[in-house]
Chains A and B, each alone.
Chain A
Amino acid sequence: MMRRDVSRRSILLGVPAVLGLAACSGNSAGSTELSSEPVTLRFTWWGSDARHQRTQQVIKLFEAKHKNITVKGEFKEWNGYWDSLATSAAAQDAPDVIQMDELYLASYAERGALLDLTTVKAHLDTSGIDGDVLATGKVEDKQYAVPTGLAAYSMVANTDLLDRFGIDLPDDDTWTWDDLKEIGGKVSAAGGGQVTGVQSWGFDMGGLNIWTRQSGGKLFADNGDVAVKPAVLVDYWNYLVDLAQQRVAPAPAVTVERATASLDQSGTATNTSAFGTWWNTQLTSLAAASGQKLKLLKLPGEADAKQRGVYDKPSMYWSIFSRSKHPGEAALLVDFLANNRDAANVMGTDRGVPVNKEIRELIQPKLEPADQAAVEYLNTIKVSKPPRVTPNGASDIEKILQRHTEQVLFGQVRPEQAAQSFISELQSEIDAAA
């Protein structure tokens, strides 16, 4: 039996890739039974330095508990992560346990790259997770992912910088986007070119979602088509152009540079921008990099919005590669990450405020100040119903958005043209994947 397997594999390796394609359709996933032999799992995630350190600690705890399992961590920053995951998934060689994002969940799940987690429920307990939240990991009614935690969009303000320039914190219960522009302008004026008021955005899905929702619309219709109105995009880009032209935000060249840089190189992390939009749980990593006092503020424009922009987003998910050789052990690791108390104590809120209520109550008193603030923010904001999961084919939305924002910021196209082009390009990617 064993022999035949080996020889079949070596034959597959030997024939040209075109024939090897035929093998792609076959399912070579391993057994869900736990092995008593030594097992090596590969585990991949994206994130900042702070997350890498915490996750390595959790891996050590897991290995101490399961002596026969070795976990190899493969961590990258956001941009490189998805290129690398696509390549390794295509080569049938993706890591066993994959940190997944809402943007890509449907694209991977609908193409059969993720394991249906009900097949490993013997090793993976999801009973502690609220049903509605757990359902956000479903695609086409199958549970492909377990949410790690919740996050909400926020404005991070550097209060040390504001104090230095003698500028008061705005009242974040009532402030508008115009207020942000005004106070940001004051900071830029006092900052003398070294510090800008606002770190401009225009490259991330969260920001666009908020803007669209506040206008009363949504980015994607329930059937997965693009639903954002051109006029909303025009407003969005006009605001960003205003920020850049009135020097509230850095020059477009700097904005573009930062768009593709890591969190640690951002204006907030390097204390060169007083305000920046972030997910509330990124505060921990930002505070570690910045070293200054950072405060989470509610988003501008919520008070007079047609619909609340802010929502609880499953910050990320755990999922298992459908062709993992060790799905049982991989499920054990996911279970450990989702439910283990020691692991939770180490991770804090770095991957979102834990969705497991028991875990959330357990860690809350022991949290460091930045984590405490993140939990408190989530508890105090008023949210509305979250948007649907990003449809299959639209995973590239942030890159399409970035390109159009660049064209607008550099004055190559008018916001009206960009809006039409953005919508039609995004829709054609969705159509192509269907």
Chain B
Amino acid sequence: MQVDERRKTPEADQSLEDVESGEPREALEAAESLEDVEIGERGDALNRDETKVSSNSNIVIFTCGWYPAIAADNAGVVGEEYPTDARIVTMTCAGRLSPALILDAFGSGAQGVLVAACKPELCHYVNGSSTCEQVVAETRELAELLGISSERIHLEAFDTEEGKRFADCVNGFYKKIVELGVIAVEQQ
């Protein structure tokens, strides 16, 4: 109702037009600092769209919700950067992981999976982190059988203040994935 009334005045028309077709300045500035970000019509970075696989080197980071998630946040606090196509999936505990979840990530287009867990002796659920170690080991074997190099699955333990180490780990892993290339998948 308010919108209709505003439409009656020419000033209102102009402001609506700006919002629809124009590109907010902030996003433009952000774009210039990150090379591989595309800007869509509405001014938001395209690869924040969860359903789109925008590059050939995207990785999924399964993060425990306790210390590693804080570490990931800490990475931002200390000003570290890592590529935007590293998607973080937070779980309550890394022990939630099962081989199917990791393999499904590859099935959905991920080129690498990084698992960020707590140190086993600090796991809030006692044995979640050590279960996670077994799961990752089993998944590595299955991945090899499926033609996915086991180097594409990496497990690392983090503590709260390790923001820089988190970012370094992601960057290092990302570089390795780019080197390994795209997983060979036959299209029918």
On whether the two chains bind one another, the answer is no
